[in-house]
Amino acid sequence: MLTLLGIPPAVTLLCGFALALVLSFLFTGLIGRLSRRMGWLDQPSERRVHRVPVPRLGGVAIFLAFVLTGLLVYWPGSLHEALAYAGFLPAALFITAVMAYDDVKGLPPGIKLGLQTVTVVILILPGLLFGNAQEHGAIIAFVHNPLHFANAKNVLSLNIPLLLALPFTWFWTVGMMNTINFVDGLDGLAGGITMIAAVALMVVSVLLGQYLVAVLCGIFAGSVLGFLPHNWNPAKIFMGDSGAMFLGLALAVLANIGGAKLTTVLLLLGIPVLDVALVILQRMRGGRGAMHYDMRHLHHKLLASGFTQRQIVLIYYSLTGFFGLLAVLALILPDAFPIVSNISIVGASLAHLIELVLVGLVMAIILGIVIRRHKPKQPVFSNPTPTPEGGVRKG
């Protein structure tokens, strides 16, 4: 484990990122070939966007690359990190395994929600058994003030009683898993925005002086990036629910393990989160369950409006990167310009509030474009003549 050998954190981070990337790329190719040989393919249907059978166990490759690299490179730097990591590994193994079964055989939505709840129980168990008021593992026992524009040495936080922390941790973790799952509708979409979010969390962790957490974020980013060449349109393999759930779980834990950077993740994934919330509300208003399948998501609407898959994916990448840059600037500016950190808390809060409002504004602009460009026809695909290696991700 490089972190125990006195190797500088920057070198450890680069080694972890590179190793995870290579392993993920190799594992994805192997699992894709195995899936084709075994017939584990996502078949085209009316409830799918792709038009040819495509393997969908890429998430297993991402998981294996992350775990193997983590065992070789990463070591927790505190009891809090150790408790979170001790819960995360078995929870990730559980959700990846059961959702891999779902990718092959299929499971009803209610069972999936129950399995997600079991995952959260596994995740928080070390913190419940061995944690304390300061080191609580993956349990979200405090959150930072989302309107406070401050550096690492001057952060306002709100302590959460355990009776509220447990359901809040469940809501946050299950919400992240389902957000990534719902946004996994086009080739490269979920993986790309998750990778960008992981890189942003890595940079934020470095700025906060949490170098070992940054190493873990770097490993995660490399694991996802190694999968993306296989998943870029036209995709040769999908991550499946096994990948989407693992990615969502990892983001939920990484946002908390290094100091409750929950608002950073909400900013990075603001568009997908808002999209999921609006779709769920529409489904419930229509008398359907929150997990009911339809094609109401923003990427579906953009596709139906004439945008190609690659254009939509690049739009999402750009927005995620933009909000990631805002999150980083929110930490850099107070240190670079001391006068900023001396602004009254009302003015500082207003500055951070503007970032959150931008998410809603951008969402409104995109929806406006969709309405203006909407055409009553089937979605336009970027690969109108699919090949055996091609295909488009499910909706």
Rounded to whole angstroms, how far apart are CA atoms 76 and 62?
21
Residue 290 — pLDDT band, cuts 50, 70, 90? low
State how far the Cα of 55 lies from the Cα of 104, in Å rounded to an integer. 10
Look at residues 379, 44, 391, 388 and name the one whose alpha carbon lies nearest to residue 234. Answer: 391
Q: What is the pLDDT of residue 380?
A: 43
**Amino acid 307: pLDDT:** 87
**Of the candidates 116, 114, 113, 162, which has an alpha carbon nearest to the alpha carbon of residue 139?**
162
Question: Where in the chain are the domains?
Answer: 2-373
Residue 352: how many other CB atoms lie within 10 Å: 20
Nearest to 120 by CA among 265, 253, 256: 253
Instruction: Express each pLDDT in 177-189 by its tens digit.
Output: 999 999 998 999 9
Tell whether the model's pLDDT for residue 201 goes beyond 90. yes
pLDDT in tens, 354-378: 666 777 777 777 767 766 665 544 4
- Whether the CB-CB separation of 219 and 279 falls below 8 Å is answered with no
Q: Residue 144: beta bridge partners? A: 157
Query: pLDDT at residue 229 above 70?
Result: yes
Identify the band that residue 267 occupies on the pLDDT scale cut at 50, 70 and 90. Answer: confident
Sign of CA dihedral 230, 235, 237, 242: positive
Evaluated on CA atoms 260, 265, 267, 273, the torsion sign reads negative
Model confidence at 161, pLDDT cuts 50, 70, 90, reads confident
Other Cβ atoms less than 10 A from the Cβ of 65: the count is 28
Residue 123 has pLDDT above 90, yes or no: yes
Q: For residue 17, what pLDDT is reported?
A: 97
Flag the least confident range among 47-56, 150-159, 266-275.
Answer: 150-159
Q: Which of 227, 320, 207, 345 is nearest to 269 (CA)?
A: 320
Q: Which residues of 316-341 are buried (b: 16+ CB within 10 A; e: fewer)?
A: bbebbbebbebbbebbebbeeeeebb
Q: CA-CA distance, 324 to 201, in Å (whole number)?
A: 8
Across 36-40, 51-55, 172-176, 377-381, least confident range: 377-381
Does 389 have pLDDT greater than 80?
A: no
Q: How many CB atoms sit inside 10 A of residue 389's CB?
A: 12
The stretch 106-117 carries a mean pLDDT of 94
Give the C-alpha separation, 318 to 376, whole Å: 27
Contact 233, 392 (CB under 8 A): yes
